[in-house]
Each structure stands twice: as structure tokens, then as C-alpha cells.
Amino acid sequence: MSTDKAYKVLAKQERISNNQAKALIDRGLVYVGDKKVKIARAEINEDTQFRVDYPSDIEIIYQDDNIIAVNKPAQIDSYDIQDAIEGAELLHRLDRDTSGVLLLGRNRAFVEDAINEFKHKRVQKQYVAWVEGVVYETIEIDAPILTIKKGKAFSKIDAMRGKKAYTKVIPEEVQGKKSKVRIEITTGRTHQIRVHLASVGHPIVGDEQYGSRTQSKHMLLHSSKIKLFDYEFEAPEPKGIARYK
């Protein structure tokens, strides 16, 4: 019985490219029976039947011929949502642990126009988060960010090599030594909100990568509102964000 690499067998079965198949395996979405396929290059029988566990229960806020607005759950990769909606292309990304409004385009012309809006900082984005410590006044953070993308992406403040980034943090509520804040950003650097908040001593609750010491199922950051062209979308806060424990 002949064998081939798992991602190649999957690509043939699902009629997708080798790269798409490898990405599905790398994201932990591919199973044989109840066992997850962990190594994309593992040798496997060519007649193996895979099961791709695409994200379910994707809540579509709005859709038309140009755009789809999704309320992304936490702990799902933005690309998994793109893969699950036929003919859709991401206009931006949210970190895996970030919930909220995620936008996808439906045709090439619109996608290019929309990406240009993001590039020129004409998209209005608002988030909510629970952070460590007490925030009692508005904080404006204007610190350049450098992202290192070797393996797992990591960003840091770097005045010399960093790219311009601006974050505005507005207090909303305090519970003990935790604060709920509203966040507005005009730039979209990798991990921008997380790095900026950590840099002023208020890492996002559950964000262990950037210094949170509070155990949480996931990071408490939510993309609440976004405005692009004449479109404006809002995603209701999940329970863990709307009300802290």
C-alpha cells in the first residue's frame, strides 16, 4: 500500500493546495477518527480518510456582496474562519485569543480597496479589555513597536527600530485590582494593544506572554466596534468581558 506525506494526501482529498492542507494540520484542525494529525510531513497511507474540524457556530453579524462581518470567538484562529467561509478573504486579523468583530471581503476589488483603508489608517477600531491594576484616567501611548517573527511572534517597544503605534486607553470600571478599559487604536501593529498596555504596567488579564499573572482560559480582549467606509459593525461583549468574575 503506497504512502505519502499527510498534507499531500489531505490536499488531494479536500481538493485544496498543499500549503492550505499543511496550514490546516498546523492549526490542529485535522483528525483521523478521533486522533489529531500533528505532523504535516508524516508518512501516511494514501487511502487514509481525514476529518477537517472547521470552526462551527460562526456568528455572522452582516453580509452583502462585498463584505462579511463575523463575531469571532476567542481561541479560534482568524485564518480558520476564512477557511470556513467559502470565497471569503480576511481584511485584517485578530489574535487567536481575541474575540469580536472580524471583517472579510467577498470580491478582489473590494478587498484591495479595504486593505488600502487599513494601510492608510482610515479604519476606526475600538476594543474593550480587562487589565491588571487600577486605571483611573485616560492613558495615551505613543511608543514605536518592533515585531520579531521567528517562531511565535513577539513584539516590544523599540524607539530606534520600532514602527509608529498609537493607543488610547479609557477607563470604564474597576473591580478590586482589575480594570475594564475601552481602547482606541489608529495603527495595527502585531500585538499592539497587548504590548502598549504591558508597557504602562497594565497587561491584559490572561495575557501571560506579556506579563499577566492572572490565570484565565483566554486573554480578556474583545474587538467591540469597527468602522470601514460607510460600514459600521459592533459585536456584543462575551460574558467574561461584560462582567469580570
User: Averaged over 216-233, what is the pLDDT?
Assistant: 94
pLDDT of residue 21: 87
E strands, the chain, where? Answer: 3-5, 30-32, 35-36, 43-45, 51-52, 59-63, 67-72, 89-90, 99-105, 124-132, 139-141, 145-148, 154-157, 167-175, 178-185, 221-228, 231-234
pLDDT in tens, 186-199: 888 999 999 999 99
pLDDT of residue 230: 96
Domain residue ranges in the chain: 3-52, 55-245
Cell 478599559: give the residue: 181
The whole-angstrom separation of Cα 121 and Cα 103 is 16
pLDDT of residue 55: 61
pTM score of the predicted model: 0.77
pLDDT of residue 242: 85
User: Averaged over 8-20, what is the pLDDT?
Assistant: 87
**CATH level 3 topology of 3-52:** 3.10.290
174 against 27, higher pLDDT: 174
- Angle in degrees, 0-180, between the axes of helices 18-26 and 6-14, rounded to the nearest 10: 110
| Local confidence band at 76 (pLDDT 50, 70, 90 cut-offs) | confident
Q: Is 3.40.50.300 the CATH classification of the domain at 55-245?
A: no
Q: Examine domains 3-52 and 55-245 and report if their fold is the same.
A: no
Q: Is 207 a catalytic residue?
A: no
Q: Is the pLDDT of residue 216 over 90?
A: no
Q: Which of 77, 80, 83, 95 is catalytic?
A: 95
